[in-house]
Structure 1
Amino acid sequence: REALQMDPQQRMLLELAWRAMEDASVSVDTLARVSTGVFVGVISHDFERLALSDSRKINPHTGLGRSTSIAANRVSYTFNFRGPSISYDTACSSSLVAVDAACRALNLNECDTAFAGGANTIVSPESYIEFSQAGMLSRSGKCHAFDARADGFVRAEGGGLVLLKRFADALVDGDRIRGVILATSVNQDGTTAGLMAPSSKAQTEMMQTALESAGMEAFDVGYVEAPGTGTQFGDP
């Protein structure tokens, strides 16, 4: 009965955590013996709307099953992880903000390993209506980021988790290292032309902070993966 009331995003995160452990060749017991944190970005409340749409079907498991705040806790509870366990909702930046938080927790020795990432599912139409009313969704059904044809973004489902560890510890333990995060940075646009209007100045400052923390210059970067909104308003 509890599983039937669980947001599919929580289920997805459980599966992703297991896959991350398999990829890292590390057991649940090993991670349960150390301080393992879980940091996830989850923003969709679609399942919550469905769960509360018929009051006759609400039961003792509904509250926790629908809650996005429980998403990280569900992973920690299931696998007996006792490090920080936090869910983030910062809209489309949620998963990367979760990665930033995980890196900070590792650097502060608040945990020894950390799962970081997020999940997103689309199971009801209300969010589509909200976004379309705001003019955010592409009429053409294609996301033309940084393009003169940009007319909005296209929604999608999916998820991903990475298993993070301090680099020195990973070397000592002989772990499989897929990549190294040199630095992260988070800030806010402040006052702009509108609540959702971006600030190129603030975004530039954030990237400069990350580069300085990593001891790098802009010309050292050879590849950029950017979250383009695909709108004339947001991309500039």
Structure 2
Amino acid sequence: MSILSARISYLLNLKGPSMAIETACSSSLVAIAEACTNLALGNNDLALAGGVCVLAGPKLHIMCSKSGMLSKDGQCYTFDNRANGFVPGEGVGVVLLKRLKDAVRDGDHIYGVIRGWGLNQDGKTNGITAPSVISQIQLEKDVYTRFGINPENITLIEAHGTGTKLGDPIEVEALTESFRSFTQKRITVLWDL
């Protein structure tokens, strides 16, 4: 896995930082954050960032099943009272990132704008599906402050959403508390269930 990104760069004749990032379910988001950092630092003018999940054997399913992390009915009810675990899935996703001023200058079709990003590690928690609400609140506040983001203007949030009664409420509480530090407005959340 460590040379996969280098082989893609070789095939496409890409230059600049090229790395494989493995942080479990956050790998794609960490890759995007790293790409944004490199763009901001001027290390490159565009970046491909994304992730691949291929479940080629039974080990993950067995481990997650023994840990009680898998949904009993094969449905993932993220941020829902019916949440009873997650459902593993496979997929590939890649985005092409550029600095906004460069994309505007080049007449590119812009699908979205990343206004800020941040990374953290929660430290010791109650388990792999239980993020630290305090760490999450601090990270979100830091990102809003560092990038001058008013949470009232956020249109999309990517959350970990384990589909469990333990992890999901922690994620919602962190989002709610970090928003309240900047605004008292309430938002309506629409879920695609």
TM-score greater than 0.5 by the shorter chain = yes
Which consecutive segments of 4 or more residues in structure 1 shift more than 4 A?
none
Q: How does 1:1-236 map to 2 (within 5 A)?
A: 68-194=1-127, 197-236=130-169
| Alignment partners' CA distance in 2, 1:179 and 1:196 | 29
Deviation of residue 224 (structure 1)?
Answer: 3.3
Going from structure 1 to structure 2, the CA distance change for 1:212 and 1:164 (only over 3 Å counts) comes to same
| Alignment partners' CA distance in 1, 2:167 and 2:5 | 30
Deviation of residue 195 (structure 1)?
Answer: 5.6
Cα deviations by residue, 1:41-84 (Å, 9 ceiling, x for unpaired):
xxxxxxxxxxxxxxxxxxxxxxxxxxx21221121011111211
The structure showing larger relative contact order (alpha-carbon pairs under 8 Å, at least 6 residues apart) is 1
Deviation of residue 217 (structure 1)?
Answer: 2.2
Out of 150-159 and 216-225, give the one that drifted further: 216-225
Provide the residue aligned with 1:49 in structure 2. Answer: none
**Could you tell me whether the CA contact under 8 Å between 2:115 and 2:149 is conserved in 1?**
no
Secondary structure of the 2:97 match is strand
Q: What 5-or-longer segments of structure 1 have no aligned partner?
A: 1-67
Secondary structure of the 1:118 match is strand
Aligned length: 169
Q: What 5-or-longer segments of structure 2 have no aligned partner?
A: 170-193
Q: Which has the higher helix share?
A: 1
Normalised TM-score (structure 1): 0.67
Deviation of residue 166 (structure 1)?
Answer: 1.3
Q: From the CA coordinates, give the structure whose radius of gyration is larger.
A: 1
Normalised TM-score (structure 2): 0.81
The alignment's C-alpha RMSD in Å is: 1.6
The amino acid across from 1:158 in the alignment is G
